Amino acid sequence: MEIVELLQQTPLFHELNAADLEELIPSTRLETYEPGRVILREGRVGAAFFLIVSGSVEVIKALGKPEEKLVNKLGAGDFFGEIANMKHTTRIASVRAISETKCLMIQRLHLDSYIERFPAVLAKVEQAVAVRGDE
């Protein structure tokens, strides 16, 4: 399946047409993560945004420490990595694959300018930032 088709199947981008989504392709790649693989680490600088195509992940604070806490579980159509991208800060949690997970990884530099041009996408990302920023 092509990247444009994968993007169109997600709630975040489904309202956009193929021509608009084609602009994202140069900065997007499909990645596969095995169960247990840490995709993002808390405290690191965010350089990419992830959109789950298939599989599932868990969002964890204090990964590997005695105070480790499961914050959320996400599946196909969900996205993560948006807080560090939108706020240009370090990651506030780690993300680990629960099952084999395929994600579209979109580089932050391109995503910033892209979503500013599409208010519907920007609104969905900002809403997630507001909700998840409080977790």
Tens-digit pLDDT profile for residues 1-54: 688 888 888 777 878 888 888 888 888 889 999 999 999 999 988 788 899 999
Q: Is residue 135 part of a domain?
A: no
Q: Is residue 69 part of a domain?
A: yes
Tens-digit pLDDT profile for residues 69-88: 999 999 998 888 876 666 66
Element (H, E) at 115: helix 108-116
What is the total count of domains within the chain? 1
With a threshold of 0.85, does the pTM exceed it? no
Q: Are 96 and 39 in contact (CB under 8 A)?
A: yes
Give the range of the structural domain holding residue 32, as residue numbers without chain letter. Answer: 3-130
Residue matched to tokens 């977790």: 135
Distance CA 106, CA 85 (A): 10
